Structure 1
Amino acid sequence: MVTPVKYSVGIDCSKEEFVAAMSLFTSDQKITVKATRKFKNTAKGFSDCGHWICQHKKVDVAIVLTMEATGNYHENLAYYFYNQGYIVSIVLPNKAKKYMQSLGLKSKNDTIDAKGLSQMGAEQRLSRWEPFSPSVYELRTLTRFCEQLSMNRTQLMNQLSSMEYGMFQVEEVKNSLRSLIQLIDTQIAETKVQIEELINKDEKIHERYEKISPIKGLGLLTFATIIAETNGFKLFENERQLTSYAGYDIVENQSGKRVGKTKISKKGNSHIRRIMHMASLNVVKYGEPKFVNLYNRIMSKTTIKMKAYVAIQRKLLCLTYILWKRNEAYDANYEAKQSNPGIDKKVGGINPPTQDELSSIAADSPLSIPQI
């Protein structure tokens, strides 16, 4: 006997409107599209979509909503349905695109995309989305603004440097560039103060920062960016999920006797990778032992600096994750204590991480060393 399993609503969202497609998934693995409709991307459009879903729900089974991450345009819609008690899943555009390609779809429009997302939500058990807390959302806004300011500053500095080597000097333009750089420097400083105040105001984030900050080279801005972009590691169950989200997962290219280049995927959060690049340089510069040892070990094997720094980025990110999850203070001498049976293996009265938890941090195997 064929029975309904769940309703799946796929939503393709844009700046001004969104298209919803509602499908029914049954026990015989069949997916039937029940209805499609376009709504305005406004509060009234959200409410109309909710009534539309209720009108087409004929049996009492679960309803899941699947939408694609489209900048900020999907966030209010996702937050509305989350507060209404719906199961909401948000997938990355690259993942949705690959899924559509696997279905053999040759055309592309909003309705086709919505139907594809509906089928994706019906067939797969996607991770449930949870909104950021107000403090973390504000932190993400500030860190991304600071990142954009830094990128603008670099661009202006390059322009100024290029002009100084030109055949003719236009002092008015050079002075304007210097003024803009000075203004951006002021804004960066002010934004960093706001980030620090926000971290100090949130008790949980401040407590974790005090325990993680002893890592020399991992500064306040790096810590804030990691927490803001991962929502405090809420949806991550292990280091593999985290490294995949950040784009540090290893991609092999091998078939038969052919062995291609092994590298990191870079299919993940670019904000994390950008801030971790500077952090990896700093932990080596300031002589943090475990990272210096990793750097020297990889350099002795490959002589490729960037490979060593990428491995350090991954290791530092995973270490931050473990310390956050276990609410444990960083101990630079932890590994030495572990190898000495005469020293208590507890750190701060808390049991040390298990071997599985530390497996991704060790990074001893050549296969664990990413190439870029």
Structure 2
Amino acid sequence: MISPVKQKVIGIDVSKDSLAVCFSLTNKLQHLEVSNDKAGFQKLVKQCGVDCLYVMEATGIYYLQLAYYLYEQGAQVFVVNPVIIKRFIQMHLGKGKSDKKDAQWIQRYGEQSQATSWQPEQPVIVECRQLEQVAEQLIKQRTMVINALEALKLQPVVSSLATKSLLQTLKMLDKQVKQIQEKLLETLEKAFAKELNLLTSIPGIGRKTAGMLLLFTGDFQKLDNYRQLIAKAGLSPREYTSGTSIRGKVRITKMGGSLIRSKLYVCSFSAKKSNAACKALYERLVAKGKNGKLALIAVCNKLLKQAFAIVKSGIPYHPNYMHISTPKP
């Protein structure tokens, strides 16, 4: 963290084709709209310069080219979770919505907040994330084809050509998924051999899950403590109570990280048997009357805590060291 910024703050509302820009000039707000491409980026920098803070939301993939360009030009970039901007607007009772107004709110947030400079991730992480995303899309297509085949079989008359076509598509998808997943794991093993070996030393975590954790966390580089990792995965408990009358169930936040959550949940079944700390935690919670699903979610959290500690310390898992200390940031 750095102290509140003193330099000029540029708020940018990013959309697919355009950028709505807001900045202060001689204490008056100015607005600018440019295209979301290199020509627009050049116009933006020419107008505002690089000796300032550019603030934008992490809007899908549409902000990435702009963030990379500004970073390469030497400007300071601050990328904010859209939920944070939404809450900021609500807190200030903001009304109405337009690209121009959103840019103004983003600029205001940048002026009032402590900014952590954005930096691009390692190219190998970006490339592997793309492979992971394509594999997931192909798996979804594969599920659709399997469902189509099942539906076809239930009909009184079945076209042999339709069946053959779906089977060929299924075979092709299986081949592509296998190739991409093998390439993904191979790339990760070359780039992060040490980290993968550390993570797979944890009982319950296999190489695929270890690879997903490395991609999800960006090689754990931007995390200061395990609580940030648990929150990022959407596994933080969220309590809903008020006074003596409202006693809602404690649930997890489920904000982000759906893929890693589902993978960890599967891993928790093995971890509660083979991982000493996870086994003790699971049995203690069940003995207290907690349901099995809640206990397994706690095991997921324990796995993340272990993963963070082991990668940061460089010490492989050992059953006799249930509390691994991590260096203070």
The normalised TM-score by structure 1 is 0.79
Matches within 5 A, 1:180-219: 180-202=169-191, 205-219=192-206
Please tell me the residue identity of whatever aligns with 1:158.
N
Residues 83-124 of structure 1 show CA distances to partners (whole Å, capped at 9, x for unaligned) of: 222221111222222222222222111111111100111111
Go from structure 1 to structure 2 and tell me whether the alpha carbon gap of 1:355 and 1:301 turns closer, same or farther (over 3 Å shift): farther
**Which residue does the alignment assign to 1:326?**
313
Shift of 1:165: 4.2
Verify the 8 A CA contact 1:11 1:66 in the aligned structure 2.
yes
SS in 2 for 1:151: helix
CA distance in 2, matches of 1:157, 1:309: 30
Say if 2:278 is the partner of 1:287: no
CA distance in 2, matches of 1:155, 1:319: 36
CA distance in 2, matches of 1:107, 1:313: 41
CA distance in 1, matches of 2:36, 2:309: 39
Say if 2:11 is the partner of 1:15: no
SS in 1 for 2:8: strand
Verify the 8 A CA contact 2:212 2:260 in the aligned structure 1.
yes
CA distance in 2, matches of 1:102, 1:95: 10
**Would you say how many aligned residue pairs link Structure 1 and Structure 2?**
324
SS in 1 for 2:30: strand
Shift of 1:168: 4.9
**Which residue does the alignment assign to 1:301?**
288
Match of 1:36 among 25, 31, 46: 31
SS in 2 for 1:106: coil
SS in 2 for 1:51: helix
Q: Structure 1 unaligned segments of length 5 or more: list them.
A: 26-31, 339-351, 358-372
Shift of 1:289: 3.2
SS in 2 for 1:332: coil
Q: Structure 2 unaligned segments of length 5 or more: list them.
A: none
Say if 2:256 is the partner of 1:256: no
Shift of 1:24: 6.8
Verify the 8 A CA contact 2:312 2:326 in the aligned structure 1.
no
Go from structure 1 to structure 2 and tell me whether the alpha carbon gap of 1:355 and 1:253 turns closer, same or farther (over 3 Å shift): farther
Verify the 8 A CA contact 1:146 1:188 in the aligned structure 2.
yes
Please tell me the residue identity of whatever aligns with 1:274.
S
Identical aligned residues as a percent: 28
Verify the 8 A CA contact 1:87 1:128 in the aligned structure 2.
yes
Segment of structure 1 superposing worse, 208-217 or 42-51: 208-217
**Which residue does the alignment assign to 2:46?**
51
SS in 1 for 2:232: helix
**Which residue does the alignment assign to 1:81?**
70
Say if 2:241 is the partner of 1:240: no
Verify the 8 A CA contact 1:69 1:90 in the aligned structure 2.
yes
CA distance in 1, matches of 2:289, 2:137: 34
The normalised TM-score by structure 2 is 0.88
Go from structure 1 to structure 2 and tell me whether the alpha carbon gap of 1:98 and 1:198 turns closer, same or farther (over 3 Å shift): same
Residues 9-35 of structure 1 show CA distances to partners (whole Å, capped at 9, x for unaligned) of: 11111111111111379xxxxxx4531
Matches within 5 A, 1:61-140: 63-140=52-129
Verify the 8 A CA contact 2:230 2:236 in the aligned structure 1.
yes
**RMSD between aligned residues:** 2.6
CA distance in 2, matches of 1:169, 1:332: 56
Go from structure 1 to structure 2 and tell me whether the alpha carbon gap of 1:356 and 1:197 turns closer, same or farther (over 3 Å shift): closer
Residues 277-301 of structure 1 show CA distances to partners (whole Å, capped at 9, x for unaligned) of: 33323434x7333323333333333
Please tell me the residue identity of whatever aligns with 2:228.
Q
Please tell me the residue identity of whatever aligns with 2:187.
L
SS in 2 for 1:221: helix
Say if 2:143 is the partner of 1:154: yes
Please tell me the residue identity of whatever aligns with 1:268.
G
CA distance in 1, matches of 2:285, 2:157: 47
Please tell me the residue identity of whatever aligns with 1:150.
I
Please tell me the residue identity of whatever aligns with 2:325.
P
CA distance in 2, matches of 1:157, 1:304: 33
Shift of 1:38: 0.7
